[in-house]
Homo-oligomer: A and B are copies of this chain.
Amino acid sequence: MRKSAGKASGELRNSTGLVGRATIVDVAQKAGVSVATVSRVVNGNYPVRECTRKKVQEAIGELRYVPNIQARELNTRHSSSVGVVVPSFYNMYFAEIVDGIEEMLHRNGFSMLLTCMQNNAVLERECVRNLVSRNVSGIILASPDTENVGAEFYDLTSRQVPLVFVNSPLSISNASHVSNDEHAGMILALEHLYDIGHRRILLVCGDNGGAYLMKKMAYREFMDSRGLYTEENIINIGDGNSIDAAERTERLLEGRLGDPSSATAACCCNDVMACGVLNAARHAGLSVPEQFSVTGFDNTPLSRYVDPEITTVDQNMAKLGHVAVKLLLEKIETGKDRNVVLENHLVMRKSTGFLS
C-alpha cells in the first residue's frame, strides 16, 4: 500500500497541520495513467491524447499537484535558479541593481537566491559556497570584496560555476564582467562644473571599495591637467554607504564653505554625500546653485527627493542588472565570457549653476 493513499482527502503529515504535497505518482494513480504520461502533460514536450490529458489535468487540479523542481533538476542536471550576492540591501544603489536582476531572471524563467555579505569577505566566500551547494546555474556578484577578488578564491570558483561580476575592482579570468565607466562619469561631472565656471572644486569621497579609487584618479587627472589640483580639496568621509554618511559629510564640510577663497563647488562620489553637502551649504548660508554647486553620483531616487534636485551621474542600475543576467545566461549556454562597460550619463538638475 502506498504511503499516500487517501492523501487527497486530507491526510495530515508530520503534526504540523499541513497536507502532504501530492507527487507525480499520486497524480498518475488518480488519473489511472503512468508517471511518464503525467510528466508529459506537465511538460508538454511529447504528444498526449486529448482525453488522457484531460484526465491528468483533472487529477492535478484536485490534488493541487505542484511539480517538485528540485527533483526535476536533480534528474536533468539543469538548474533554473541563480545566486546573487550583494554587500547590503541598505543602499538604494544595490536595491535597484537587484531589482533589475530579479526582473530579468524572472523574465527568463529563473529564480533568484539572494544573499547579503554585509561587507564581510569571509561571509562572502561562505555565501558563494552555499550557493554552489544549492546547485545554482550561475552566480552574480555585485561589488565583491577586493580581498577575495585578489585572492585565488574566485579563480577557482569560476571553474566550477559561471560567474558574472558587477562593478568588480579587478577582472577575474573565466568570468564575465559588467560595470559602469565611473571614470568617464566622473569626468562628465567635472567637465560640467568646469564649463559653468567652477575652478575650485572639492572631491567628496569614501574610503571603501574600488570605485572611489577610480573616481579619485579621474578627479586628479582632470584637475591636474588644468593646474587646479590640490590634495586638500579631497574630502574623505569614511564609509560612504552607511546610514550616517550624509551627516558625516556635513560635519566635515563645516568651516570649508562660504569664505571667498574656498571652493565654489563639490563633486560627490554618491548621492548621499551630495545630500550632506546640500545641507552643509544651507547651514553656511549659501544658496545652491546660485552660490555653490553640487553634483552627486548614481542617480538614486534620493537625488530627486531633495531640494534642489541634485545634478548627478546616472549609473542606470536597472540596466546594470539586466546586462548582468544576460551575460550570465550567455555564459551558462556557451561558456564564453564577455566584458561590458556601460556608459554613464549626466543628469542635469537644479543643484548646479553658473556662478553669479
Contacts and interface: CB of A to CB of B under 8 A. Distances in A.
Interface of A: 15-19, 21, 64, 66-71, 73-74, 79, 81, 88-90, 92, 95-96, 98-99, 102-103, 106, 111-116, 118, 129-135, 156, 159-162, 174, 243-244, 246-247, 272, 275-276, 278-279, 282-283, 301-302, 304-307, 331-335
Contacts of A118: 103
Contacts of A246: 304-305
A246 B300 CA distance: 14
Given A69-B134, A156-B64, A307 B282 contact: yes
B111 A112 contact: no
B135 A70 contact: yes
A320 B349 CA distance: 36
A245 to B, nearest CB: 9
Contact of A335 (B17, B103, B112, B114): B17
A130 B66 CA distance: 9
A160 B18 contact: yes
Given A68-B135, A160-B18, A111 B113 contact: yes
Which are the 7 A-B pairs with shortest beta-carbon distances? A16-B335, A279-B307, A17-B335, A89-B99, A114-B114, A95-B95, A246-B305
Contact of A161 (B15, B18, B283): B18
A160 B66 CA distance: 10
16 contacts: A66-B129, A67-B133, A69-B134, A70-B70, A74-B74, A88-B99, A89-B89, A89-B99, A90-B301, A92-B95, A102-B114, A103-B118, A111-B113, A113-B114, A243-B304, A247-B304
